[in-house]
Amino acid sequence: MADVIPHADRYVLWKDHDAKANLDLRESWMSKTPLRRSKSVALPFMPLAWRTLTRQKYDIVISSSHAFAHTVKLGHPEETRYLSYVHSPARYVWSPNLDGRGARRLLGPMRAALRAADERLSRHVHTYAANSREVQARIRRYWNRDARVIHPPVDVEFFGDAPRTVKQQDRTYLLGVGRWIAYKRFDLIIEIAAEARIPLVLAGSGPEEVSLRRHADKVDVPVTFETRPTRERLRELYWGAKCLLYPAHEDFGMIPVEAQACGTPVLGLARGGLLETVVDGETGFLTGALEAAAYAALVRKLDEFSADAAMTNASRFSSDAFKERLGSWISQGI
């Protein structure tokens, strides 16, 4: 988004010290408080922070929102155009069934109040864009607003353009990639590998690491943990995998697109963003089941897939495609 509008001022609630974005980012007052240490504790204060970023007024304000950024207000609606690109209405607040982190006891009593505030404080937004049809439907259901679907940018060029030695690997293992948290179902991924009797590589990091390692020690197939792999190493892992296992309900899901850019089929859950990024029966298999046996049966059918079909499908989600669609949305929105 910054590439599309390079001259824009950019505001964030706070910037993590290890953030890799090489951008000039202006932080809110929350960055100077202990609130920055915990998203769940900070959640009730986010709408206030977005409303008190600065006294400066703008003609156009574009928010990138996965929590309350769409409530930002830096001028009067009569004088300022507000556009919001939404990754999802706050899952902790609106969809705790999809993300167990939203079921924390601390959030329970305040969830109804946060929902009311979220809807009320966003009425000034002139136009919405959603990162998937899944999120478009949530925006309609929760906020009663329409949204244009603009899939997020995936660096398919990088993942597809691997060195020859990487591309010539034998595909010898199953692969799971992502943050090691409960709703991503890495426990199920381990069970799938055990059922299929094929080695597994898990790439990522997260609070579930200890329990996942314990789980892996109990199965009869090798499970290798790749903690915080570089992009180059992750690309190498995609190219060496028989398939990506992805039994999670995602808003969009960039990882399955990255895998397909490497010619790697995806076996995933037939819900959410995967319905838009995976062509069932052509670039992967989708199933409504959450049992290891169902996925293991699909693993045995992997020889049916064409790497070229997966790469072609992934190209639909390139950075250039995103920039073109985002630019069109902004031009029409203002």
Query: Residues of the chain with pLDDT > 70: what percent?
Result: 96
What does the pLDDT average to over 148-166? Answer: 96
State whether 60 and 175 are in the same domain. no
pLDDT of 101 > 60? The answer is no
Are 237 and 162 members of one domain? yes
Alpha-carbon distance 55 to 60, whole Å?
15
Quick one: 198 and 175 in the same domain? yes
In this prediction, residue 100 carries a pLDDT of 60
Nearest C-alpha neighbor of 44 from the set 52, 53, 32, 35: 35
107 pLDDT tier (thresholds 50, 70, 90): low
**pLDDT tens column, 13-64:** 998 877 777 788 999 999 999 999 888 788 889 999 999 999 888 999 999 9
Domain that holds residue 40: 11-153+319-333
Q: Are 259 and 241 in contact (CB under 8 A)?
A: yes
Number of separate domains in the chain: 2
Per DSSP, the three-state class of 65 is: strand
CATH number at residue 307: 3.40.50.2000
Query: CATH number for the domain including 16?
Result: 3.40.50
Are residues 292 and 199 located together in one domain of the fold? yes
Same domain, 324 and 249: no
Same structural domain, 145 and 160: no
Q: What is the pLDDT of residue 44?
A: 85
* pTM score above 0.85: yes
Does residue 117 share a domain with residue 68?
Answer: yes
Same domain? For 149 and 220 the reply is no
For the stretch 322-334, pLDDT in tens is 999 999 999 998 8
Verify that 268 and 238 share a domain, yes or no: yes
Inter-residue contact 276 to 132 (CB < 8 Å): yes
The per-residue pLDDT for 106 is 59
Do residue 139 and residue 160 come from a single domain?
A: no
pLDDT at 93: 84
